[in-house]
Structure 1
């Protein structure tokens, strides 16, 4: 049996008192996304999402609650020398801003607050749109979804837990 390998990542839906959501624009492809990324070795999920939000936007946050767990079970050829990108497991959290100032990073070229209803007009990736919709639909139960992004986006299963 081959030992399983998963990338673990966390995303942050940072919302302010004006019902706006924090978005960052990626340098790699110029798309708008909510901040997040891979959890580092020895790092827990909460610290990881706080770090990712700070690195990508300059904002300091606290984590409120978990809204979704998502598995991208597609494996595909990567970039930058990565032969195969393994299964990814993403944990999405609602976060509250507690300080900091907007800054960009080597991963982001822009940062802004976007009214909650306008976010889907800016996010183009189907997987991110699906995860954002789960955030909008959150009613106390965590969303779980299994999907693939390659060769095209397809939801394999979904439920609340």
Structure 2
């Protein structure tokens, strides 16, 4: 029996006291809310704080979970050979507690964007869908299954 392999990732919707949302512009993916893969031996919240700090320069505290997402599509990595496994992502609302806006090896810009302008900037369908889940959050955690390759397809959308 082959043991399943999953990539575990986290995303942070960081909202400041004025209702602005932290976005970063990635080198290859356009504007997104910050986040990334959880490293071996790291817990979800520590991973999220680390990723946000690395990508944007902003220090945060994690407030609450808003969504769990499964990207169940199997496809090849950029090298055309390596299989990309299922991804499980956890999105949290975060509050900024310090730091200065900056960039990283992965990001070319960062900024605070008015909550109602964020969807004008995000082009990736999966990220747009997850941000909309934040806007629609009513206290129930959202669960979605989707695939992103060859095109975005939402397969399941419910609350838990």
What is the TM-score when the length of structure 2 is the normalising length? 0.97
Unaligned runs of 5+ in 2: none
Distance, in Å, in 2 between the alignment partners of 1:35 and 1:157 is: 24
Distance, in Å, in 2 between the alignment partners of 1:81 and 1:39 is: 24
SS of residue in 1 equivalent to 2:41: coil
Superposed, 1:77-96 pairs within 5 Å as: 77-80=76-79, 83-96=82-95
Regions of 4+ moved over 6 Å = none
SS of residue in 1 equivalent to 2:151: coil
Aligned position for 2:37: 38
Distance, in Å, in 2 between the alignment partners of 1:104 and 1:41 is: 24
Provide Cα deviations, 1:77-132, integer angstroms capped at 9, x if missing partner. Answer: 00257611000000000000000001100000000000000000000000000000
CA-based RMSD of the aligned residues comes to 1.0
Structure 2 vs 1, CA of residues 117 and 51 (structure 1 numbering), >3 Å: closer, same or farther? same
- Residue 3, structure 1, aligned to residue 33, structure 2: no
Aligned position for 2:22: 22
Unaligned runs of 5+ in 1: none
Tell me how many residue pairs correspond in the alignment: 160
Distance, in Å, in 1 between the alignment partners of 2:80 and 2:104 is: 23
Distance, in Å, in 1 between the alignment partners of 2:106 and 2:81 is: 18
Superposed, 1:97-108 pairs within 5 Å as: 97-108=96-107
Distance, in Å, in 2 between the alignment partners of 1:103 and 1:9 is: 22
Distance, in Å, in 2 between the alignment partners of 1:48 and 1:144 is: 20
Distance, in Å, in 2 between the alignment partners of 1:5 and 1:37 is: 17
Aligned position for 1:159: 158
What is the TM-score when the length of structure 1 is the normalising length? 0.97
